[in-house]
Structure 1
Amino acid sequence: MLRFIGKLLLACFAGIIIAPLLIVVFTTFKTNAEFYANPLSWPAQLTLDNLQVLFAKQTMWRYFWNSTLVTFVTVALELLLAGSIAYAIMRYGKSKIGAMLFSLFAVGLMIPSQVNMIPIYTLLRDLSLTNSHAGLILVTLTILLPLSVFMLTGFVKTLPKELLEAGEIDGAGEFRLFTQIVVPLIAPYLATTAAFLFVIVWNDLLFPMLLLVEKGKLTLPLALIQFKGEYITNYPLLMTGVIVTALPMIVMFVFLQRYFIAGALAGSLKG
């Protein structure tokens, strides 16, 4: 009886999650008049007109490229910097330098990014980096660095010290130890962190809204707000934009799923 109740509750919870998603998907296949006639109805005819209009008459390709550029460059640099710092913390973890370095990034987790909005904008304005993707990447990279270091440090510390000691005996330097031993071993953890960071950067709205002004430089989440303001009554077109924005995250998760599971299993089986 308890098992049946548990399955029933899970089914109800799944229905609550899936129902809004289905409504969004069905809306993309409707015309504007059909949506207002019955928002919850099944589409009378499946059509891709909204998708064609979105990319033919709007600058969605530009917004898509902007989000792709900002996200991939930010995540790549984030993994490089955070991985290097996590390795340094692991190597000097027993010294005061390693402890102070880790504490510094741990403190960074306690400071909300919203608190720094005015200083960040003032600094980038003085550096002439406002309304630029370079400035947005720099800010996002800095804001997410404490979180990335905190995550990767926990992963790197699970590595067996014997492998690094064997590498040192063979004459390997720190760069070779990091690139040829540490990086291959933490590849599943890097992929896990990359997937996590990808979702955060791709969906980020705060700092693009703060820094980007020119329409041709907007990222997808920010562009959807502008798009909604311009076509406030055309919800099928807006829902199509939402699907287009969410699709890369779904593809990325599917691509990195095996690495994500491998990283979770490695952590659970450690020791």
Structure 2
Amino acid sequence: MRRVALGIYTLLIIVPLVVIVGGSFKTTADLFASPFGLPTRPTLDNYVTVLAKQDLLGVLGNSVLVVAVSVPVTLLLGSLTAYAVARLPRWPSRILFGIFALGLAVPAQAVMIPQYVQFDRLGLRNSLTGLMLINVVVTLPVAVFILAGFMRTLPAELFEAAEIDGAGPWAVFRRIVVPVSAPSLAATSIFLVVMHWNDLLYPLLFIDDPSKRTLPLALLDFQGEYLTEYPLLFTGVVVASLPMVLAYAFLQRHFVAGITAGAVKG
């Protein structure tokens, strides 16, 4: 039964992947004629249209910039907060952690109107800076939740030995906590990159200028009210997914180490 379940799950992954990747090399007529088949007359016209005529490379630069700024800032603030949660006395630690856990409990849709109004008044709407800021605010509770769970497993003797040697809180964090927490930081960064890269909701809400669109927002251009250019849409999905696939291929060792860190005590 386990093999059957794994086989069904594999088909659920492979079939859409074959349709999307294969469809990116087909014309619209070929795609509708044989959606599940391999391209018999492969063409690169879709990629030329998407990358050149649709300016997807410029949009790709916007997404890279947003992720490159949002993820390090979120990791820095999240690791500092998680360090405080791990080192504070019992009740202050619980209160601080509870505040950020509350950020996970409140749905994003419930606070979107106040966020929109506030960012509009501050002049941060329709700007990449505002998008970076909202990304940090929204995903900071996730980073704190993951990192605090790991840092709480660090032995107190590790901090006490550093303090005896004369290290202050910042030195302990920089020289001990960060190197020891590297697997957890790597895993958290992968989660954050995926969340920021694939986010459509906030760019759709905050960005009106076509020159400041991110990749998920640009993919909506291929879907019209009465007609959807599926080959172009599939090509855009392939281009948008390729950086994530490459990042995971190079960082999967750190990802596995991060999600298993602290699972077994020495």
**Does TM, normalized by the shorter one, top 0.5?**
yes
Task: Tell me the equivalent position of 1:111.
Answer: 106
Task: Tell me the equivalent position of 1:247.
Answer: 242
Stretches of 4+ aligned residues off by more than 6 angstroms: none
Q: Whole-Å Cα distance in 1 between the matches of residues 19 and 213 of structure 2?
A: 27
The worse-fitting range, judged by mean Cα deviation, of 260-269 and 25-34 is 260-269
Task: Determine whether 1:99 maps to 2:94.
Answer: yes
Offset at residue 260 of structure 1 (A)? 1.4
Match of 1:83 among 76, 79, 94: 79
Which blocks of at least 5 consecutive residues in structure 2 are unaligned? none
Q: Whole-Å Cα distance in 1 between the matches of residues 28 and 123 of structure 2?
A: 43
Match of 1:38 among 34, 40, 63: 34
Q: Whole-Å Cα distance in 1 between the matches of residues 242 and 36 of structure 2?
A: 22
Q: Deviations over 1:7-53 (max 9, x none)?
A: 23322221122111101111011122322333333211233221122
Task: Determine whether 1:49 maps to 2:57.
Answer: no
Task: Tell me the equivalent position of 1:215.
Answer: 210
Offset at residue 186 of structure 1 (A)? 0.3
Question: Secondary structure, in 3 states, of the residue corresponding to 1:70?
Answer: helix
Task: Tell me the equivalent position of 2:136.
Answer: 141
Q: Deviations over 1:47-106 (max 9, x none)?
A: 322112211211101110111111121111000000001101111142x32222112112
Question: Secondary structure, in 3 states, of the residue corresponding to 2:261?
Answer: helix
Task: Tell me the equivalent position of 2:3.
Answer: 7
Q: Whole-Å Cα distance in 2 between the matches of residues 117 and 55 of structure 1?
A: 32
Question: Secondary structure, in 3 states, of the residue corresponding to 1:79?
Answer: helix
Task: Tell me the equivalent position of 1:262.
Answer: 257
Counterpart AA for 2:107 = P
Residues paired across the two proteins, number: 266
Question: Secondary structure, in 3 states, of the residue corresponding to 2:42?
Answer: coil
Question: Secondary structure, in 3 states, of the residue corresponding to 1:269?
Answer: coil
Counterpart AA for 1:222 = L
Offset at residue 230 of structure 1 (A)? 9.0
> How much is the aligned-residue C-alpha RMSD, in angstroms?
1.6
Which blocks of at least 5 consecutive residues in structure 1 are unaligned? none
Task: Tell me the equivalent position of 1:205.
Answer: 200
Counterpart AA for 1:39 = P
Q: Whole-Å Cα distance in 2 between the matches of residues 21 and 252 of structure 1?
A: 18
The worse-fitting range, judged by mean Cα deviation, of 261-270 and 120-129 is 261-270
Counterpart AA for 1:62 = G
Offset at residue 6 of structure 1 (A)? 2.8
Distance 1:82 1:92, change over 3 A: same
Q: Whole-Å Cα distance in 2 between the matches of residues 6 and 124 of structure 1?
A: 50
Q: Whole-Å Cα distance in 1 between the matches of residues 225 and 25 of structure 2?
A: 20
Offset at residue 220 of structure 1 (A)? 0.4
